[in-house]
Amino acid sequence: MRTSCTPAARITSVTRVPITREERRVAGGNRLTAKLKVRGSGLRPMLRASIDDVQSLGFVFEDPNSADVLVGEVPPGAHDLILYDGVQEVARLAKSVTIESSASPRIAGVGTLVNMDKATADALASDPAYRVGSPQGVLKLGDATAQADSSWQRPLEIVLQCDPDPNHEGCAVGGVGLNAPWPRILRLPGPRGSDLTFAVKEVFPAAAPEPARAHVLLGGAPEILALVRAGDRDDCLDDRAAIVESVASRRAGGLELDVTLRLGVDRSQGGLLYRGQMLKAGAPFALTTERYVLTGTVLSAGARREGDAK
């Protein structure tokens, strides 16, 4: 309880400020939607904050005149910011927090469910939640294979809901930033209440890709180029994966090979993107299959027109 010599807490202003990456990291998997700078007087380290009746994720004391409030999921609208000392309300600023209604973006995450026992890996094949088109957002589920440590894994592509991101720093799911370096580890619900580890390798827009065709000059040793066949598929679970449509003549004494690829692309301000990389004449290109890895240069690329051969 506040004694007579403790100054009364008072809020004079509340403003929204950027969220740091460290604050996102320590949010403990909770959705961190806003950070508020609270100015006033009589602020103390042991106070806690709420936005109307929604408890904040954190009250970070700076000095008696300044503190930060970390905000989780709060309904849209104008809300009061309330400070408590224990259960006693000590300060309030009415309608000082405005939460705008906005739909968080969705993305398609491609990666691998890892470190499963064989029973769990097998059970996914018959689990309704992991059927293609399930409400959980599963787009593709690959075959189970053994890992080097005798545990099991399965490739997975699934639609994921991004956390609200007021700083426009990219998609995060459960506080894990998907623009961070690989591996990006998420937890997904599994069969019989189990917890699955999902290592996200690539991120794509949730919308379907646009069909395109690219003419690429691959370079490499003649023995490697001789492995290239029509129908070879780039190592990507998503429908964007490049597929060799035709193989033309060799160049440069057999060290280069012309191939035509059909693939799925996304549009950006700079042009077409394939797996996040620019797809235009002169751009580098890598083709990775089960049998070989080759790199080369894009000679030409463009969207496939309706009526083009598939």
pLDDT value at residue 140: 96
Q: Do residues 121 and 153 touch, judged by C-beta distance below 8 A?
A: yes
- The per-residue pLDDT of the chain, averaged, comes to 89
CA 142 to chain centroid, in Å, comes to: 20
Q: How far apart are CA 107 and CA 184, in angstroms?
A: 14
Quick one: average pLDDT of 195-208? 93
Q: pLDDT value at position 308?
A: 61
CATH superfamily entry for domain 10-99: Immunoglobulins (2.60.40.10)
Q: How far apart are the first and last CA of the chain?
A: 75
Place of tokens 């449509």: 245
pLDDT tens digits for range 116-171:
999 999 999 999 999 999 988 999 999 999 999 999 999 999 999 887 665 556 78
* pLDDT tens for each residue of 70-122: 998 888 899 999 999 999 999 999 999 998 776 678 899 999 999 999 999 99
What is the C-alpha separation between 79 and 75, in angstroms, rounded? 9
User: Exposed, middle or buried, 105 (CB in 10 Å: 0-12/13-18/19+)?
Assistant: middle
Contacts of 9 (CB under 8 A, 6+ apart): 40, 41, 42, 43, 44, 47, 83, 85, 90, 91
pLDDT digit string (tens) for 249-289? 788 778 999 999 999 999 988 899 999 999 999 999 999 99
Q: How far apart are CA 116 and CA 249, in angstroms?
A: 46
- Positive or negative, the CA dihedral 234, 239, 240, 243 is positive
Tokens standing for 240? Answer: 């964007």
Sign of the dihedral through C-alpha 29, 24, 19, 166: negative
